[in-house]
Chain A
């Protein structure tokens, strides 16, 4: 079977795309293995400059517009006695408040609640574009956005910690946690340094991006194979298409779950880091 696929791929490599969109929709020009090129689509505008605007940037703009649009709609009509749609939106706000911020930070969290809620909603909307037809790629699967969000959180927790304890106090709190025998600091301090200054923001960004990248590759693999099996393969191999299609559908549901889960994880960890920075004692 592997040989068959390889042959098909080789054959199609030379093929040219002169068919219309509709024709291509119901045919296959061979199997396209998903590659990292997926995440670097051709530029739509200003190619080669820092303003380069490609399909993923467009999807980010669409997701942001949808997010702001939905909440603007609700906020403009927000009533004391909520309607159904407002209830759903309020459920999301309450989720961040009741499930993440209050259990972790208690009353200190009030100040950071608007930011953390916005962060959660933004990540959900950016992630979910990965399973929305015609968008089909998570805005967060390109590392820039996760890095930017992680940096924002990083600056926030460093800033809040230093504001509260002063630079020296903050470093002492975090690099020399109290209640440990002195000689342990030889081992502990470098680890804590790595944790606070490098690992926390880096893992925040990488975890989110890696999840979205792998999710996208899985979906492309499943549906790409389905397209190939249905329209290019012959005989019994067509049946394989049903299997890959079912797998794709299952992964799609899984990706919805992952989109929400990763938003939760990102915000939960951000809240924990923030709390660690401003906590009196570890």
Chain B
């Protein structure tokens, strides 16, 4: 009701040479000025302003990209260094273990060699001592044989009071005596 009245009033009021169709049919001047204004905007923006702004945006993107790349590189380097360090550490540990093992083996060898040498030395000493003992015993036996023979002869001469002129008989008596003596010594050990 209100709207109708108002519209009716407006139609009466305006001398309206424009009609509703004019709202969708552009007047030539409308198109002309639209063309001029819009073209200016498009040209100024696409030729000057957008490239300028885009350049700044690109530069920023590049900076950020560069920063990211730098960080990535640093990280890669750190990882590489860590890997290298770990590898070195592992190698060093292996080396230490090897050296310890070598030392143990060497020590064992030295020990066994020493033992062997000591054993040999001991054997030799014992051998030498044995031989010396044997030689001394033989010497003792020889000297004893001589001394005991003459002593016994002297004793027998003194006891018998006569010279046992017969050397052959004398020698036979002594030998018999000494053989008995030797047998007794051997039996005793």
Query: What residues of chain A have their CB less than 8 Å away from a CB belonging to chain B?
Result: 1-3, 5-6, 9-10, 13, 31-33, 35-37, 39-40, 49-54, 57, 60-61, 64, 67-68, 71-72, 74-76, 78-81, 89-90, 93, 114-115, 117-119, 121-122, 142-145, 147-149, 152, 206, 209, 213
In-complex Cβ contact of A10 among B9, B24, B50 (8 A): B9
* Contact between B10 and A33, CB atoms less than 8 A apart: yes
Q: Are A147 and B26 in contact (CB under 8 A)?
A: yes
A143/B25 contact (C-beta < 8 A), A57-B33, A64-B37 known = yes
Shortest beta-carbon distance, A267 to chain B, in Å? 13
**Is residue B57 within 8 Å, beta carbon to beta carbon, of the partner chain?**
yes
B125 at the interface (CB under 8 A from A): no
A71: contacting residue among B5, B16, B22, B49, CB under 8 A: B49
Is the CB–CB distance between B34 and A36 below 8 Å? no
Instruction: Please report whether the interface of chain B is mostly helix, strand, loop or mixed according to DSSP.
Output: helix
For B45, list chain A residues within 8 Å (CB).
Answer: 68, 71, 114, 117-118, 121
Given A35-B14, A90-B57, does the pair A143, B49 have CB atoms closer than 8 Å? Answer: no
Report the separation of the CA atoms of residues A80 and B19 in the bound assembly, to the nearest whole angstrom.
53
Of A2, A36, A90, A118, the contact of B46 (CB 8 Å cutoff) = A118
Query: What residues of chain A lie closer than 8 Å to B27, measured between beta carbons?
Result: 52, 144
Q: Taking CB as reference atom, which chain B residue is nearest A13?
A: B13
Q: 8 shortest A-B CB distances, which residue pairs?
A: A144-B30, A144-B26, A52-B29, A9-B9, A118-B45, A148-B34, A33-B6, A145-B34
Contact of A143 with B26 at beta-carbon distance under 8 Å, contacts A1-B2, A10-B9, A35-B10 already known: yes
Interface residues of B, count at CB 8 A: 50
* Set of chain B residues within 8 Å of A122, measured between Cβ atoms: 38, 41-42
A-B pairs under 8 A by CB, number: 151
Determine if B32 and A50 form an interchain contact, defined as CB atoms under 8 angstroms apart: yes
Q: By the criterion CB–CB under 8 Å, are A53 and B56 in contact?
A: no
Q: Is B107 an interface position by the 8 A CB rule?
A: no
CA–CA, A253 to B24, complex, Å? 26
- In the complex, residue of chain A having the shortest beta-carbon distance to the beta carbon of B46: A114
Question: Provided the pairs A50-B29, A67-B41 are in contact, do residues A60 and B34 lie with their beta carbons within 8 angstroms?
Answer: yes
A5-B2 CB under 8 A given contacts A35-B14, A75-B52, A152-B38: yes
Q: Which chain A residues border B42 with CB–CB below 8 Å?
A: 115, 118-119, 122, 152
Q: Among the listed A61, A74, A90, A143, which residue makes an inter-chain contact with B30, where contact means beta carbons less than 8 Å apart? A: A143
